[in-house]
Amino acid sequence: MKNQKQAMVYGLATVLLWSTVATAFKLALLELAPVQLLLVACASSVVVMATSLVIMGRWQQVFQLSKRQYLQSVGMGLINPCLYYFLLFGAFDRLPAQEAQPLNYTWALVLAYLSVPFLGQKLRRIDILAGLVCYAGVVVIATRGAVTSLNFSDPLGVSLALGSTVVWASYWIIATRDTRDPVVGLFLNFLFGLPLIALACWYSVGLDFSVSGSLAAACYIGVFEMGIAFVLWSQAMKKAENTSKISNLIFISPFLSLVFIYVILGEVILPSTYVGLVLILAGLWLQQKKVQTRSIEHG
């Protein structure tokens, strides 16, 4: 049953959770290596998604898939959570949260560009304009306002953040051909990715975890950012009568995130962060407006 009010509640709850994760990433990385954070968060999210499937009455679907779909889960699990979060956590490990978080939002534009060769969509002039505006924001943030010098504060950190957007966008392009229930699919992707993450963690930094605030933050990320937030967002899109209104809620998240970063982490938000973020969101708004216009024309 469609219910726009319920969809808005689910959507707002999701945005609130997403707004806290940049802060949680930095708190977790105080004492954990990126791969350790990934292991704890992935394990926590598997438990949350399994519980959610039982509560929603979909647990039996986990055992009703074809052999090809289980193999698909292995492949998609290598992309998300393994590769995507390894790059993302690596970026947050090297960059201030106020820089890494806005850069990650450019994945939506990367998705639009990758959709041209892989989904056969057309590239329009407004796509190019949106890209120029968006990546102007990236340069402003990455150089901390010293645009003319093009002296990036941490080239590797910036590369990891932008690389994660390519991986995330690629994952969603592959997911367009995924016929599984979204929560079932993500649960299996994480479940099959977990052993590889555990092996990488054991081989590289070890499996010795001390009980600390960082460990609690890692569990929070797995429970809320990887688990509950995805379930809430899928419910929001399922209930929505107008999905574009729900999608627009995403634009609240980066500004709310800066509030948490300032208040909890104590990062002084640079003017270049605000300028760059506004440019990135303006580019994404142009891109989304074009998509909405196209859907109206065909609707």
112-156 pLDDT tens trace: 889 889 888 888 888 889 999 999 999 999 998 888 777 787 999
Q: What is the pLDDT of residue 299?
A: 40
Q: Which domain holds residue 115?
A: 4-297
pLDDT at 298 over 50: no
pLDDT tens by residue, 26-66: 999 999 999 999 999 999 999 999 999 999 999 999 999 99
How many domains would you assign to the chain? 1
**How many Cβ atoms sit within 10 Å of the Cβ of residue 204?**
11
Identify which has the larger pLDDT, 146 or 242.
146
Q: How many CA atoms lie within 13 A of 202 on its CB side?
A: 6
What is the mean predicted confidence (pLDDT) over 224-233?
91
Entry pTM: 0.90
Percent of the chain with pLDDT over 70: 97
CA–CA separation, 185 and 208 (whole Å): 30
Give residue 165's pLDDT.
94
State mean pLDDT over 101-119. 88
Decide if pLDDT at 290 tops 80.
no
pLDDT band per the 50, 70, 90 thresholds, residue 287: confident
